[in-house]
Amino acid sequence: MLAIPALGATASLLAACGDAAEPGTTPEPTTPPTVPHPTGASDAVLRIAYEGGFVPMEYNFRRLPTLLISGDGRAFVQGAVPAIYPGPLLPAINVRTIDEVGLQILLALARTEGLLATPPDYSLPDGIGIADASDTVVELYANGTVYRHAANALGMDGTSTPARDALNRFVQKATALDATVGSAHLGAEGPFAADEYRFMALQVDPSTYTTEPLPTVVDWPASTGVVLASASECAVATDDAVGDVFRSANELTFLDRKSTRLNSSHITISYAVFCLKKK
Protein backbone atom coordinates (compact mmCIF):
# COMPACT_ATOMS: atom_id res chain seq x y z
CA MET A 1 0.00 0.00 0.00
CA LEU A 2 2.87 2.41 0.71
CA ALA A 3 4.11 2.04 -2.87
CA ILE A 4 1.07 3.85 -4.25
CA PRO A 5 1.69 7.27 -2.66
CA ALA A 6 5.42 6.94 -3.32
CA LEU A 7 4.68 6.40 -7.02
CA GLY A 8 2.26 9.33 -7.04
CA ALA A 9 4.83 11.58 -5.42
CA THR A 10 7.45 10.51 -7.98
CA ALA A 11 5.11 11.19 -10.88
CA SER A 12 4.33 14.65 -9.53
CA LEU A 13 8.02 15.38 -9.10
CA LEU A 14 8.78 14.32 -12.67
CA ALA A 15 5.96 16.49 -13.97
CA ALA A 16 7.38 19.48 -12.12
CA CYS A 17 10.99 18.92 -13.16
CA GLY A 18 10.53 17.62 -16.71
CA ASP A 19 10.36 19.50 -19.97
CA ALA A 20 8.86 22.96 -19.65
CA ALA A 21 5.52 23.56 -21.32
CA GLU A 22 5.58 25.42 -24.61
CA PRO A 23 4.84 29.14 -24.37
CA GLY A 24 1.14 29.92 -24.49
CA THR A 25 0.08 26.45 -23.28
CA THR A 26 -1.29 25.41 -19.88
CA PRO A 27 0.60 22.60 -18.11
CA GLU A 28 -1.42 19.51 -17.31
CA PRO A 29 -2.48 19.56 -13.64
CA THR A 30 -0.81 16.99 -11.44
CA THR A 31 -2.82 14.65 -9.22
CA PRO A 32 -1.81 14.66 -5.55
CA PRO A 33 -0.85 11.26 -4.18
CA THR A 34 -3.67 9.29 -2.62
CA VAL A 35 -3.56 8.65 1.11
CA PRO A 36 -3.77 4.94 2.01
CA HIS A 37 -6.34 4.07 4.68
CA PRO A 38 -8.06 1.00 6.15
CA THR A 39 -10.84 -0.44 3.99
CA GLY A 40 -12.72 -2.85 6.28
CA ALA A 41 -16.33 -2.42 7.38
CA SER A 42 -15.21 -2.46 11.03
CA ASP A 43 -12.25 -0.12 10.43
CA ALA A 44 -12.37 3.61 11.05
CA VAL A 45 -10.81 6.20 8.76
CA LEU A 46 -11.98 9.36 10.51
CA ARG A 47 -13.53 9.95 13.91
CA ILE A 48 -14.52 13.35 15.30
CA ALA A 49 -15.93 13.35 18.82
CA TYR A 50 -16.29 15.34 22.02
CA GLU A 51 -14.96 13.72 25.17
CA GLY A 52 -14.56 14.56 28.84
CA GLY A 53 -15.83 17.60 30.68
CA PHE A 54 -17.75 17.57 33.96
CA VAL A 55 -20.33 14.96 33.01
CA PRO A 56 -21.26 11.59 34.55
CA MET A 57 -19.40 8.49 33.42
CA GLU A 58 -22.51 6.98 31.83
CA TYR A 59 -23.06 10.17 29.80
CA ASN A 60 -19.58 9.88 28.32
CA PHE A 61 -20.24 6.22 27.56
CA ARG A 62 -23.33 7.11 25.54
CA ARG A 63 -21.77 10.12 23.80
CA LEU A 64 -21.63 9.49 20.05
CA PRO A 65 -19.02 10.74 17.59
CA THR A 66 -20.08 13.79 15.62
CA LEU A 67 -18.72 12.07 12.53
CA LEU A 68 -17.41 8.55 12.02
CA ILE A 69 -16.29 7.26 8.61
CA SER A 70 -15.64 3.55 8.17
CA GLY A 71 -13.15 1.96 5.84
CA ASP A 72 -15.81 0.60 3.52
CA GLY A 73 -17.12 4.08 2.80
CA ARG A 74 -19.91 4.80 5.28
CA ALA A 75 -20.32 8.11 7.10
CA PHE A 76 -22.14 7.95 10.45
CA VAL A 77 -23.60 11.10 12.00
CA GLN A 78 -25.94 11.87 14.86
CA GLY A 79 -29.61 11.85 13.95
CA ALA A 80 -32.41 14.04 15.25
CA VAL A 81 -33.28 13.51 18.92
CA PRO A 82 -36.86 14.09 20.11
CA ALA A 83 -37.13 16.98 22.55
CA ILE A 84 -38.91 14.86 25.15
CA TYR A 85 -38.12 13.31 28.50
CA PRO A 86 -37.53 10.50 28.91
CA GLY A 87 -36.03 10.17 25.46
CA PRO A 88 -35.39 6.87 23.67
CA LEU A 89 -32.72 4.60 25.11
CA LEU A 90 -31.03 3.98 21.77
CA PRO A 91 -29.20 6.89 20.16
CA ALA A 92 -30.34 8.23 16.80
CA ILE A 93 -27.70 7.46 14.17
CA ASN A 94 -27.85 8.20 10.46
CA VAL A 95 -25.57 6.75 7.82
CA ARG A 96 -24.74 7.48 4.20
CA THR A 97 -22.11 6.32 1.74
CA ILE A 98 -19.03 8.29 0.81
CA ASP A 99 -16.97 7.21 -2.19
CA GLU A 100 -13.19 7.03 -2.42
CA VAL A 101 -12.93 10.42 -4.07
CA GLY A 102 -14.84 11.95 -1.17
CA LEU A 103 -12.62 10.19 1.34
CA GLN A 104 -9.50 11.45 -0.41
CA ILE A 105 -10.88 15.01 -0.33
CA LEU A 106 -11.15 14.75 3.47
CA LEU A 107 -7.73 13.15 3.83
CA ALA A 108 -6.17 15.80 1.57
CA LEU A 109 -7.80 18.47 3.74
CA ALA A 110 -6.33 16.82 6.83
CA ARG A 111 -2.90 16.82 5.19
CA THR A 112 -3.24 20.50 4.25
CA GLU A 113 -4.05 21.40 7.86
CA GLY A 114 -1.05 19.41 9.10
CA LEU A 115 -3.10 16.66 10.76
CA LEU A 116 -1.42 13.68 9.06
CA ALA A 117 1.59 14.20 11.29
CA THR A 118 2.62 14.10 14.92
CA PRO A 119 0.08 16.21 16.84
CA PRO A 120 1.34 19.69 17.75
CA ASP A 121 0.83 21.42 21.08
CA TYR A 122 -2.87 22.21 21.46
CA SER A 123 -2.52 23.84 24.86
CA LEU A 124 -4.79 26.77 25.62
CA PRO A 125 -3.00 30.13 25.24
CA ASP A 126 -1.65 32.14 28.16
CA GLY A 127 -2.31 29.41 30.69
CA ILE A 128 -6.07 29.59 30.25
CA GLY A 129 -7.89 26.73 32.01
CA ILE A 130 -11.45 25.64 31.19
CA ALA A 131 -11.87 22.55 33.33
CA ASP A 132 -15.53 21.88 32.56
CA ALA A 133 -15.15 22.11 28.76
CA SER A 134 -14.95 18.94 26.70
CA ASP A 135 -12.07 17.94 24.43
CA THR A 136 -12.53 17.93 20.67
CA VAL A 137 -10.91 14.73 19.44
CA VAL A 138 -9.99 14.01 15.83
CA GLU A 139 -8.64 10.56 14.96
CA LEU A 140 -7.33 9.84 11.47
CA TYR A 141 -6.41 6.30 10.44
CA ALA A 142 -4.11 6.61 7.46
CA ASN A 143 -0.62 5.81 6.21
CA GLY A 144 -0.59 2.72 8.41
CA THR A 145 -0.87 4.69 11.63
CA VAL A 146 -3.32 6.62 13.83
CA TYR A 147 -3.08 10.39 14.18
CA ARG A 148 -4.95 11.49 17.31
CA HIS A 149 -5.49 15.17 17.94
CA ALA A 150 -7.24 16.41 21.10
CA ALA A 151 -7.84 20.01 22.06
CA ASN A 152 -9.72 21.28 25.09
CA ALA A 153 -12.40 23.96 24.58
CA LEU A 154 -11.68 24.13 20.84
CA GLY A 155 -13.32 27.08 19.10
CA MET A 156 -14.25 28.98 22.25
CA ASP A 157 -13.52 32.71 22.40
CA GLY A 158 -10.02 33.53 23.57
CA THR A 159 -8.62 30.04 22.87
CA SER A 160 -7.07 30.64 19.45
CA THR A 161 -3.58 29.46 18.50
CA PRO A 162 -2.32 28.52 15.00
CA ALA A 163 -2.44 24.79 15.79
CA ARG A 164 -5.89 24.99 17.38
CA ASP A 165 -7.20 27.07 14.49
CA ALA A 166 -5.99 24.49 11.96
CA LEU A 167 -7.70 21.69 13.89
CA ASN A 168 -10.90 23.71 14.20
CA ARG A 169 -10.94 24.49 10.47
CA PHE A 170 -10.70 20.78 9.70
CA VAL A 171 -13.50 19.91 12.14
CA GLN A 172 -15.80 22.56 10.69
CA LYS A 173 -15.17 21.50 7.10
CA ALA A 174 -15.21 17.73 7.71
CA THR A 175 -18.54 17.87 9.54
CA ALA A 176 -20.06 19.86 6.65
CA LEU A 177 -19.81 16.93 4.28
CA ASP A 178 -22.13 18.20 1.55
CA ALA A 179 -20.29 21.50 1.23
CA THR A 180 -16.78 20.05 1.55
CA VAL A 181 -17.04 16.75 -0.32
CA GLY A 182 -19.92 17.47 -2.68
CA SER A 183 -23.19 15.60 -3.11
CA ALA A 184 -21.81 13.70 -6.12
CA HIS A 185 -19.59 11.71 -3.75
CA LEU A 186 -22.22 11.08 -1.07
CA GLY A 187 -25.19 8.76 -0.89
CA ALA A 188 -28.60 9.47 0.58
CA GLU A 189 -28.75 9.67 4.37
CA GLY A 190 -30.92 7.23 6.30
CA PRO A 191 -31.25 5.62 9.75
CA PHE A 192 -28.59 3.11 10.78
CA ALA A 193 -29.67 -0.33 11.98
CA ALA A 194 -27.09 -2.15 14.11
CA ASP A 195 -26.84 -5.91 14.27
CA GLU A 196 -25.03 -5.83 17.62
CA TYR A 197 -25.00 -3.52 20.64
CA ARG A 198 -22.33 -2.69 23.15
CA PHE A 199 -23.74 -1.69 26.50
CA MET A 200 -23.05 -1.39 30.19
CA ALA A 201 -25.25 -1.90 33.25
CA LEU A 202 -25.40 0.16 36.42
CA GLN A 203 -27.12 -0.71 39.70
CA VAL A 204 -29.76 1.83 40.71
CA ASP A 205 -32.20 2.25 43.56
CA PRO A 206 -35.73 2.87 42.20
CA SER A 207 -36.88 4.33 45.52
CA THR A 208 -34.87 7.46 44.70
CA TYR A 209 -37.19 8.18 41.78
CA THR A 210 -40.18 9.92 43.37
CA THR A 211 -41.39 12.37 40.71
CA GLU A 212 -43.27 11.76 37.47
CA PRO A 213 -42.60 10.12 35.18
CA LEU A 214 -41.63 7.07 37.20
CA PRO A 215 -39.37 4.36 35.79
CA THR A 216 -40.75 1.39 33.92
CA VAL A 217 -39.38 -2.07 34.71
CA VAL A 218 -39.10 -4.71 31.98
CA ASP A 219 -37.58 -8.18 32.05
CA TRP A 220 -34.06 -8.66 30.74
CA PRO A 221 -34.18 -11.46 28.12
CA ALA A 222 -32.68 -14.65 29.50
CA SER A 223 -31.51 -15.72 26.04
CA THR A 224 -28.91 -12.96 25.66
CA GLY A 225 -26.14 -14.90 27.38
CA VAL A 226 -25.26 -11.69 29.25
CA VAL A 227 -25.69 -11.37 33.01
CA LEU A 228 -26.48 -7.73 33.71
CA ALA A 229 -24.77 -7.79 37.10
CA SER A 230 -21.53 -8.65 35.28
CA ALA A 231 -21.93 -6.02 32.54
CA SER A 232 -20.35 -3.14 34.42
CA GLU A 233 -17.92 -2.23 31.64
CA CYS A 234 -18.89 -3.25 28.11
CA ALA A 235 -20.95 -6.25 27.10
CA VAL A 236 -22.15 -7.29 23.63
CA ALA A 237 -25.51 -8.74 22.57
CA THR A 238 -27.04 -9.28 19.15
CA ASP A 239 -29.96 -7.36 17.75
CA ASP A 240 -31.93 -10.60 17.62
CA ALA A 241 -31.49 -10.99 21.38
CA VAL A 242 -32.03 -7.45 22.67
CA GLY A 243 -33.06 -5.24 19.76
CA ASP A 244 -36.80 -5.26 20.49
CA VAL A 245 -36.19 -4.46 24.17
CA PHE A 246 -33.75 -1.64 23.44
CA ARG A 247 -35.88 -0.08 20.69
CA SER A 248 -38.95 0.06 22.93
CA ALA A 249 -37.04 1.35 25.98
CA ASN A 250 -36.44 4.92 27.07
CA GLU A 251 -34.08 6.62 29.51
CA LEU A 252 -36.28 5.60 32.43
CA THR A 253 -36.65 1.95 31.45
CA PHE A 254 -35.05 -0.33 34.03
CA LEU A 255 -34.01 -3.75 32.79
CA ASP A 256 -34.40 -6.33 35.50
CA ARG A 257 -33.77 -9.98 36.08
CA LYS A 258 -34.38 -11.47 39.52
CA SER A 259 -31.14 -13.40 39.41
CA THR A 260 -29.19 -10.14 39.08
CA ARG A 261 -30.84 -8.20 41.92
CA LEU A 262 -28.67 -7.27 44.86
CA ASN A 263 -31.79 -7.00 46.98
CA SER A 264 -35.46 -6.25 46.54
CA SER A 265 -34.87 -2.53 46.14
CA HIS A 266 -32.22 -2.68 43.44
CA ILE A 267 -32.69 -3.26 39.74
CA THR A 268 -30.52 -2.65 36.74
CA ILE A 269 -30.56 0.08 34.15
CA SER A 270 -28.69 -0.42 30.90
CA TYR A 271 -27.11 2.20 28.67
CA ALA A 272 -26.69 1.04 25.10
CA VAL A 273 -24.52 2.16 22.23
CA PHE A 274 -24.11 0.68 18.78
CA CYS A 275 -21.48 -1.55 17.28
CA LEU A 276 -20.09 -0.53 13.92
CA LYS A 277 -21.26 -3.59 12.02
CA LYS A 278 -23.34 -3.62 8.87
CA LYS A 279 -26.61 -5.49 9.08
Which tens digit of pLDDT belongs to each residue from 169-185? 999 999 999 999 999 99
pLDDT of residue 56: 58
Whole-angstrom Cα distance, residue 75 to residue 32? Answer: 23
pLDDT of residue 243 exceeding 80, the answer is yes
Q: Pick from 92, 86, 104, 127: which is nearest to 4 by CA?
A: 104
pLDDT of residue 17: 34
Q: At residue 212, what is the residue type? A: E
The band of 54, judged by pLDDT with boundaries at 50, 70 and 90, is low
Gyration radius (Cα) of the chain, Å:
23
On whether the pTM is more than 0.85, the answer is no
Please spell the DSSP secondary structure of 209-269, one letter per residue: --SSSPPEEEEPPGGG---GGG-SS-EEEEHHHHHHHHHH-BTTEEEE-GGG-SSTT-EEE
Mean pLDDT of 97-121: 97
pLDDT of residue 150 exceeding 70, the answer is yes
Q: Which of 7-11, 237-241, 275-279 has the lowest mean pLDDT?
A: 7-11
Mean pLDDT of 115-135: 87
pLDDT of residue 273 exceeding 80, the answer is no
pLDDT of residue 89: 87
pLDDT of residue 52: 77
Mean pLDDT of 134-149: 96
Whole-angstrom Cα distance, residue 183 to residue 108? Answer: 18
pLDDT of residue 109: 98
Mean pLDDT of 68-80: 94
Q: Which of 133-142, 164-173, 254-263 has the lowest mean pLDDT?
A: 254-263
Q: Which of 96-100, 171-175, 179-183, 258-262 has the lowest mean pLDDT?
A: 258-262
